[in-house]
């Protein structure tokens, strides 16, 4: 296929099908480890891959499909009270579209940054490291403030987790010295964190309908932190430091080789 437009349409359709399959098959795209808590998602991986190999309109289309799949699953197969929050498009759809826009800007920025003469690689590594460390710090800080946990204990744990993420990225950039591809793992790390942050901010601040804790079949309007009390803070801030990290690690490990393979094919065989 020499026509890039046709190739993009086919690739967009393929990614859309993958997203829907992952969403509809239980425990494939949305994974519930602890009943009652929000599901861990890996659907962002094909979405970010698509963002890096398709044009802007198709990239935003994938993030919209991602949000709509989350809305659909929240209605047909909620895994716990938090999942009911995603029945509201302000939680499931709007944050994914906003995250897609921010992620695309991050993608373009990293793509430009890596091309800076002499210092592109170092600047990219510094940027990703700083984002990861700040992300983990504020997640730990939130847990400390909301739950009264000792920051002297939380900070080293968060630093270790951030070091794992940064170390993995360093390994990937050392393994692949091609300057035109080093931004790929950086994009997976930063955009995964951006997606998690945007969704969790909406989840923490938007009032949604959640199951009444005592009356079956009735709903009450509340934010997740108010609904769960202290446990709500654990869900929000704990997700920043746990599931968000896991999602970023999975994205960079699984997504990077796939994105690089598709980009190499497009560069070699498409005009």
Give CA–CA dist 172/175, Å, rounded. Answer: 5
pTM, full prediction: 0.83
> pLDDT at position 83, please?
82
Give CA–CA dist 17/261, Å, rounded. Answer: 19
> pLDDT at position 249, please?
79
Angle CA(44)–CA(50)–CA(52) in degrees, nearest 5? 105
Give CA–CA dist 207/200, Å, rounded. Answer: 13
> pLDDT at position 92, please?
92
Residue 232's domain is classified under what CATH number?
A: 1.10.1760.20
> pLDDT at position 266, please?
75
> pLDDT at position 176, please?
62
**How many domains would you assign to the chain?**
1
Q: Which stretches of the chain score pLDDT less than 70? A: 1-2, 31-39, 142-143, 145-148, 172-181, 230-235, 237-242, 268-271
- The 3-state DSSP class for residue 47 equals helix
Tokens of 169: 């990225």
Comparing CA positions, the residue from 101, 85, 72 lying closest to residue 201 is 85
Give CA–CA dist 198/186, Å, rounded. Answer: 18
Domain with 140 in it: 4-269
Tokens of 79: 């895994």
């Amino acid at each position: 296929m020499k026509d890039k437009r046709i190739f993009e349409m086919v690739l967009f359709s393929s990614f859309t099908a993958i997203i829907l399959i992952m969403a509809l098959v239980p425990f494939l795209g949305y994974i519930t480890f602890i009943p009652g808590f929000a599901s861990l998602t890996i659907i962002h991986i094909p979405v970010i891959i698509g963002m890096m190999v398709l044009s802007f309109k198709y990239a935003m289309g994938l993030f919209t499909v991602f949000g709509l799949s989350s809305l659909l699953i929240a209605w047909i197969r909620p895994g716990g009270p938090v999942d009911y929050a995603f029945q509201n498009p302000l939680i499931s759809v709007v944050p994914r579209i906003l995250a897609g826009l921010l992620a695309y800007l991050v993608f373009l920025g990293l793509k430009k940054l890596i091309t800076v003469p002499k210092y592109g690689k170092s600047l990219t590594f510094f940027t990703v490291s700083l984002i990861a460390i700040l992300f983990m710090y504020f997640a730990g800080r939130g847990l400390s403030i909301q739950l009264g946990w000792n920051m002297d204990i939380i900070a080293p744990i968060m630093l270790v987790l951030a070091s794992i993420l940064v170390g993995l990225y360093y390994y990937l950039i050392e393994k692949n010295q091609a300057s035109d591809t080093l931004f790929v793992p950086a994009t997976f790390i930063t955009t995964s964190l951006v997606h998690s942050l945007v969704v969790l901010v909406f989840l923490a601040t938007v009032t949604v309908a959640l199951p009444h804790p005592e009356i079956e079949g009735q709903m009450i309007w509340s934010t997740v932190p108010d609904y769960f009390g202290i446990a709500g803070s654990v869900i929000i801030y704990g997700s920043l430091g746990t599931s968000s990290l896991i999602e970023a690690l999975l994205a960079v490990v699984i997504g990077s080789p796939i994105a690089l393979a598709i980009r190499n094919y497009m560069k070699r065989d498409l005009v």
